[in-house]
Amino acid sequence: MSTVVGIVNSKGVWIGGDSAATTEDGEKRPVIAEKVFRNGKHLFGHIGGVRGGQLLRKVFYSPPNDIRILAESIRLHLKDFSCIALSVENQTEIHTSNFLVGFQGKLYEILTDFQMNQIPEYDAIGSGSSFAFGALYILRKEKITPEQKIKLALETAAQFDAATGPPFVIEKL
């Protein structure tokens, strides 16, 4: 897995992520996984299955301008590329990635069951998210930039989560 962090305020949306790649068994892979990227007016960050994130890049996908249908659009797109599975528990469609999305000055998360939530201040997803959340909570009132907060949250996650590691990529929308 990995860690991706997002912050939103009146000045914009920032998403940052690590670049480590690991197997399901926790083995580190000698690749750099690009987990934060732009696609048109959208800023994406993803954790989990690398293929799910790759399929949302501009070369494969055109996101809708209506945020209300983004999760369903992603579900159908991933299904077209055979990146959807059925949950054993309740037979709902799931994928192996979670996403943070910046769009029109707002931050959203899309979970593995395609539930989409708007985030009011900050969010973290992935295996290091608990550590990143703790850091973001402590830093929330500090007079430092969102980029600095994200970097510190990712560094904290990398310190305690074996599947999170540099280099860290931070983008602003």
Q: Write the pLDDT tens digit of every residue in 65-107.
A: 999 999 999 999 998 887 777 777 777 767 778 999 999 999 9
pLDDT of residue 49: 81
Average pLDDT over residues 138-166: 96
- What pTM was computed for the model? 0.92
Nearest Cα residue to 22 out of 161, 172, 170: 161
Average pLDDT of every residue of the chain: 91
What is the per-residue pLDDT across 22-35, written as a single tens digit (0 to 9) for each?
877 777 777 777 89
Domain borders along the chain are: 3-172
Structure token pair of residue 60:
């494969």
Res. 124 pLDDT band, cuts 50 70 90:
very high
DSSP strands (E only) in the chain: 3-9, 12-17, 36-39, 42-48, 85-86, 93-94, 97-103, 106-110, 116-119, 122-126, 169-172
Pick the CATH number of 3-172 from 3.40.50.170, 3.60.20.10, 3.40.1030.10, 3.40.50.12280: 3.60.20.10
What pLDDT is attached to residue 103? 98
The stretch 150-168 carries a mean pLDDT of: 96
Give yes or no for a contact between 41 and 103, defined as CB atoms under 8 angstroms apart.
yes
Q: What is the pLDDT of residue 67?
A: 96
